[in-house]
Amino acid sequence: MRRFHPLEWEDLPWFPKSWRDYGTDYLQFIATKFDIYKPILPILKRGISASGKAEWIDLASGGGGGLINLGKKLKEEMPNVKITLTDFYPNIQAFEKTVAIDPELFRYEQVPTDAKSAPANLQGKFRTLFGAFHHFRPVDAQMILQNAVDTRSPIAIFEPVGKNAGSIFSMLFVIPNVLIFTLFMRPVRWNVIPFIYLLPLVPLYILWDGIASIIRVYSEKEMRGIVTRLKNQHEFDWEIGHVKNGPMPIHYLLGLPKNDKEEKKSG
């Protein structure tokens, strides 16, 4: 698959951890404040039900707070559901803040978790990636889905941006949003504040990574192409589309394991 994969600063191993954590805090604030993922709740319920377990593993969670509203709504219908936050660069402070909101609902993995190869204790459970799939090049993106197929783990991928006018237009507001929303974000990352208001490198990095995300994000056609290259992809039912969320639809992929009867019929 030939595609342009521009640099995102937060992907670089040497990138300052405090800046990366601020970036995930910022995205968490946006997702929670504006409840951007509300329309995908039915998709989540289908994924959890398909696993047969009241557990949901979130990969590449960032700050994790974007799941707070979804978790609260989900718990109303599934009181025993558990949500585990993971990341290759875990933002422990943000994870702890999310868990403190509801310790019975949320938990987190403290060690780095590779989305391409989930550890044994996370396999077979419903897994998600929110706004993170575009960080992976095609070969790695395929590995994420292949691992789900190999371990018969239902998987859902959500991207809140796309190659559309709404996403591009939203980039005009990134810098003023960072300057305003930082005043209300908690915890306050004092070591980052000078690089927001005195030497505004952090707002510029957020803007750069936002534009790069729009360029990187996989189209529905590209997602279907990845699925067709998976080994044993026929053992899953795949659904690729989008749900309306104002001017910026949420793009998604949902993969659910077929049961034995369905596999025998298709075979």
Categorize the per-residue pLDDT at 162 as very low, low, confident or very high, splitting at 50, 70 and 90: confident
Which pLDDT tens digit goes with each residue over 205-258?
999 999 999 999 999 999 999 999 999 999 999 999 999 876 678 999 999 999
Task: Confirm whether 198 is domain-assigned.
Answer: no
Task: Confirm whether 137 is domain-assigned.
Answer: yes
Categorize the per-residue pLDDT at 264 as very low, low, confident or very high, splitting at 50, 70 and 90: very low
The CATH number given to whatever domain includes residue 151 is 3.40.50.150
Could you give the number of structural domains in the chain? 1
pTM over 0.75: yes
What's the pLDDT at 260? 56
Task: Confirm whether 9 is domain-assigned.
Answer: no
Task: Confirm whether 258 is domain-assigned.
Answer: yes
| Average pLDDT of the chain, as a whole number | 90
Q: Pull the structure tokens for residue 140.
A: 């790695």
Range of the domain at 254: 24-167+216-266
Which pLDDT tens digit goes with each residue over 108-145?
999 999 999 988 888 899 999 998 999 999 999 999 99
Tell me phi and psi for residue 29, to 5 degrees. -60, -45
What's the pLDDT at 104? 95
Task: Confirm whether 50 is domain-assigned.
Answer: yes
Task: Confirm whether 12 is domain-assigned.
Answer: no
Task: Work out the average pLDDT over 73-88.
Answer: 94
Which pLDDT tens digit goes with each residue over 5-50?
888 998 899 999 999 989 988 988 888 888 888 899 999 999 999 9
Q: Considering Cα of 217, then 14, then 60, then 200, what sign does the dihedral take?
A: negative
How many Cβ atoms sit within 10 Å of the Cβ of residue 200?
15
Three-state SS letters, the chain: CCCCCCCCHHHCCCCCHHHHHHHHHHHHHHHHHCCCCHHHHHHHHHHHHHHCCCEEEEECCCCCHHHHHHHHHHHHHCCCCEEEECCCCCCHHHHHHHHHHCCCCEEECCCCCCCCCCCHHHCCCEEEEECCHHHCCHHHHHHHHHHHHHCCCCEEEEECCCCCHHHHHHHHHHHHHHHHHHHHCCCCCCCCCHHHHCCCHHHHHHHHHHHHHHHHCCCHHHHHHHHHCCCCHHHEEEEEEEECECECCEEEEEEEECCHHHHHHHC
Task: Confirm whether 176 is domain-assigned.
Answer: no
Task: Confirm whether 2 is domain-assigned.
Answer: no
- Residue 261 pLDDT exceeds 60: no
